[in-house]
Amino acid sequence: DKIMEKSIDPAVHQMLDRAEQLGLETVWDRYEKMLPECGFGELGVCCRNCNMGPCRISPFEDDGPQRGICGATADIIVARNLIRMIAGGAAAHSDHGRDLAHTLLLTAEGKSGGYEIKDEAKLAALAAEYGIATDQRSKEAIAEDLAKAVYAEFGKQEGPLQFTRRAPQKRVAQWQKMGIDPRGIDREIVEIMHRTHIGVDNDPVNLILQGLKASIADGWGGSMVATEISDVLFGTPMPVKSEANLGVLKEDHVNIIAHGHEPVLSEMILAAAGDPSLVANAKAAGAKGINVVGMCCTGNEIVMRHGIPLAGNFMQQELAIITGAVDAMIVDVQCIMPALGDLCECFHTRFISTSPKAKFPGAVHMQFSEESALAIAKEIVGSAVENYAHRVPEKVFIPADKTACMVGFSTEAILKALGGSLDPLLDAIKSGAVRGIAGVVGCNNPKIKHDEGHVGLVRHLIENNVLVVTTGCNAIACAKVGLMLPEAADDAGDGLKGVCKALGIPPVLHMGSCVDISRILSVCAAVANALGVDICDLPVAGAAPEWMSEKAVSIGAYVVSSGIFTVLGTVPPVLGSPVVTEVLTQAANDVVGAAFAVETDPVKAAGLMIDNIDKKRQALGI
């Protein structure tokens, strides 16, 4: 019936049924009410960049305006809108990275409230990359210099951004030639806002180039800073077992969901949940303990470092509340639906916002600060424990579904699994046992049957011997269906199956949260450098089967800018401009050696990726 069409996930079916019984509205209902979505918006041809408008361009040449009031054409408007999406996404990732740099600095100065430097080897490696002396120096002194250096990347006026130099020389040279080697992370984002103001940049190609530049500053800048500094502070992920789906909530425990993105918060929530006096309080209230679980990318951060279970991906956040078993939904920034407030009012769930940057209707705001991190985290967890008494047993319904997974494949973990060098992987690629590598990432979107885009695409890839690396909500989708278990190698083609069995790894490797797509870039750079080629020569491809966020637009742009062919599973709002569409799907090949394709059918999308991988193999003569 209708519910079955909304998701492939049985936990979602049960919760949607429950929502219907209780008369509660979810993202799927609101999506249906929105239909048909605005055709001008879908094409990207509406503009509100000044108050002579709003303007919109008619898709029919002989009927309706072909120019905005200022004279802007559809090509100009679409390009401006697209790169403003990139600015939004790059800003979100990079501001997350900035928070990590800030936390590292406070920690180095002894001013943070509970953080430590957990990975000294990584600290030393990053210091070396930045030319910071490490000999005979305390980790705090090294960390202070490193924190100041990465912090400075955001406000730089002139490049290069240090991590961009991980890319092969050929790639950097091409970026320089095209004028898209980023100068400073904030600078490129600001320049997008400047250029898209009325009456500034009115050349669609020139606009798109600036979009690519800002996106590179995200992938090889802000996001990479977020990943690397998170590893220094919280430890570099190594393979660990856990579980995924709503069944990880426990009827007899205080349930806390950490939802959002920044490990700066979630790491402290975890630490606080282990506090003996809070655990004792939970027990005194009749619970067996405190159960912290993760949602969205914060979930990815804590599952890969601590094995903390994943409650679900983006489309499941409301469903988690509807279980009636969540005592606190703790959020920071990004991908948190403002719908949660009203929904929490129908249950006992306390919706707790923590970031000064992100407040929500219906939320209690308990402001987090790095300086007194653990103390505040204890207050927040304490509030969840206290709320357990308000749980209404008749309202509790937790689906049983949960699936085991093995996560935590950082670049370092992959190298370790390979025995210390990339050679076994390179050999497997050369022999054809592994046909290529695909990065499959991104969100959920009600335009696509929940998780079907993700799982359908990934299954087809591994069946065809393509090793999949994943992050974000795709990773969670894969975990829920068991693709992240070493046993899933049985679902792979014979070549990939053999390699996975020999190494004891799943055919789908969890590399983390969305900022951790920077890990995929680092691996690609290392492989390209090992082979003495550019990233665009590698048998690799990318996909975002169910993407929806501005962050995903920035990701797509930097992945393509890095030389990786990328398939989008939902249509981006650019089809109103023939020029922009042509640049993204064709001309980009001449500029950065890769382009986008749009394919909503997951099996066909996998086919496009495999074709691209085969072409690259042929060109490499393997």
Q: Does 52 bind ligand SF4 (CB under 6 A)?
A: yes
Q: Does 65 bind ligand SF4 (CB under 6 A)?
A: no
φ, ψ dihedrals at 316, nearest 5° = -105, 0
Q: How far apart are CA 164 and CA 225, in angstroms?
A: 11
Q: Does 457 bind ligand BF8 (CB under 6 A)?
A: no
* H or E stretch covering 415: helix 411-417
Q: How far apart are CA 225 and CA 150, in angstroms?
A: 7
Q: How far apart are CA 351 and CA 295, in angstroms?
A: 14
Rg (CA), the chain: 24
Among ligand SF4, ligand BF8, none, what binds residue 472 when CB lies within 5 to 8 Å by partner kind? Answer: ligand BF8
Per CB under 6 A, the segment of 49-57, 386-394, 400-408, 441-449 that binds ligand SF4 is: 49-57
Q: What is the 3-state secondary structure (H, E, C) of 470-513?
A: EEHHHHHHHHHCCCCCHHHHHHCCHHHHHHHHHHCCCCEEEEEC
Q: Does 341 bind ligand SF4 (CB under 6 A)?
A: no
| Helix axes of 263-273 and 74-108: crossing angle, nearest 10 degrees | 40
**Please, which of residues 519-558 interact with ligand SF4 by CB under 6 A?**
none
- Using DSSP's 3-state secondary structure scheme, residue 246 falls into helix
Q: How far apart are CA 502 and CA 486, in angstroms?
A: 10
Report the nearest approach of ligand SF4 to the CB of residue 37 (Å): 20
Q: Does 517 bind ligand BF8 (CB under 6 A)?
A: no
C-beta of 499 vs 514, nearer to ligand BF8: 514
Q: Does 54 bind ligand SF4 (CB under 6 A)?
A: yes
Q: Does 72 bind ligand SF4 (CB under 6 A)?
A: yes
Q: Which of 314, 347, 558, 596 binds ligand BF8 (CB under 6 A)?
A: 314
Report CA torsion sign: 477, 439, 103, 181. Answer: negative
Per CB under 6 A, the segment of 67-75, 278-286, 385-393, 545-553 that binds ligand BF8 is: 545-553
Q: Does 78 bind ligand SF4 (CB under 6 A)?
A: no
Q: Does 193 bind ligand SF4 (CB under 6 A)?
A: no
Angle at 587 between CA 540 and CA 57, to 5 degrees: 120
Q: What x-and-dash track marks residues 401-440 binding ligand BF8 by CB under 6 A?
A: ----------------------------------------
Q: Does 549 bind ligand BF8 (CB under 6 A)?
A: yes
- Using DSSP's 3-state secondary structure scheme, residue 407 falls into strand
Nearest CA to 368 among 235, 256, 266?
266
Q: Which of 7, 14, 26, 49 binds ligand SF4 (CB under 6 A)?
A: 49
Report the nearest approach of ligand SF4 to the CB of residue 87 (Å): 16
Q: Does 622 bind ligand SF4 (CB under 6 A)?
A: no
Among ligand BF8, ligand SF4, none, what binds residue 296 when CB lies within 5 to 8 Å by partner kind? Answer: ligand BF8
Q: Which of 17, 20, 25, 53 binds ligand SF4 (CB under 6 A)?
A: 53
Report the nearest approach of ligand SF4 to the CB of residue 523 (Å): 41
Q: Does 159 bind ligand BF8 (CB under 6 A)?
A: no
Q: How far apart are CA 469 and CA 507, in angstroms?
A: 8
CB 376 within 8 A of CB 265: no
Nearest CA to 237 among 31, 406, 434, 93?
406
Q: How far apart are CA 246 and CA 140, in angstroms?
A: 40
Per CB under 6 A, the segment of 17-25, 67-75, 115-123, 274-282 that binds ligand SF4 is: 67-75
> What letter does residue 334 receive in the DSSP assignment?
S
Report the nearest approach of ligand BF8 to the CB of residue 473 (Å): 3
C-beta of 428 vs 441, nearer to ligand BF8: 441
**Please, which of residues 250-289 interact with ligand BF8 by CB under 6 A?**
261
Among ligand SF4, ligand BF8, none, what binds residue 72 when CB lies within 5 to 8 Å by partner kind? Answer: ligand SF4
C-beta of 114 vs 456, nearer to ligand BF8: 456
Among ligand SF4, ligand BF8, none, what binds residue 314 when CB lies within 5 to 8 Å by partner kind? Answer: ligand BF8
Q: How far apart are CA 387 and CA 366, in angstroms?
A: 15
Q: Does 96 bind ligand BF8 (CB under 6 A)?
A: no
Q: How far apart are CA 188 and CA 183, in angstroms?
A: 7
Per CB under 6 A, the segment of 283-291, 338-346, 356-364, 544-552 that binds ligand BF8 is: 544-552
Q: How far apart are CA 365 and CA 414, in angstroms?
A: 40
Report the nearest approach of ligand SF4 to the CB of residue 576 (Å): 13
Among ligand BF8, ligand SF4, none, what binds residue 48 when CB lies within 5 to 8 Å by partner kind? Answer: ligand SF4
C-beta of 228 vs 546, nearer to ligand BF8: 546
Q: Does 525 bind ligand BF8 (CB under 6 A)?
A: no
C-beta of 104 vs 336, nearer to ligand BF8: 336
Structure token digits, residue 438: 């695909």
Q: Does 173 bind ligand SF4 (CB under 6 A)?
A: no
- Using DSSP's 3-state secondary structure scheme, residue 554 falls into helix
Residues 6+ apart with CB under 8 A from 215: 86, 89, 90, 554, 555, 557, 558, 561
Q: Does 27 bind ligand BF8 (CB under 6 A)?
A: no
Helices and strands of the chain, counted as H and E runs: 26, 16
Structure token digits, residue 414: 């992959």
Q: How far apart are CA 102 and CA 114, in angstroms?
A: 14
Q: How far apart are CA 572 and CA 557, in angstroms?
A: 12
- Using DSSP's 3-state secondary structure scheme, residue 310 falls into strand
**Please, which of residues 332-351 interact with ligand BF8 by CB under 6 A?**
335
The footprint of ligand BF8 (CB under 6 A) covers 261, 296-297, 314, 335, 442-443, 472-473, 513-514, 549, 551-552
Using CB under 6 A as the criterion, which residues of the chain lie in contact with ligand SF4 when the complex forms?
47-50, 52-55, 68-70, 72, 77, 198
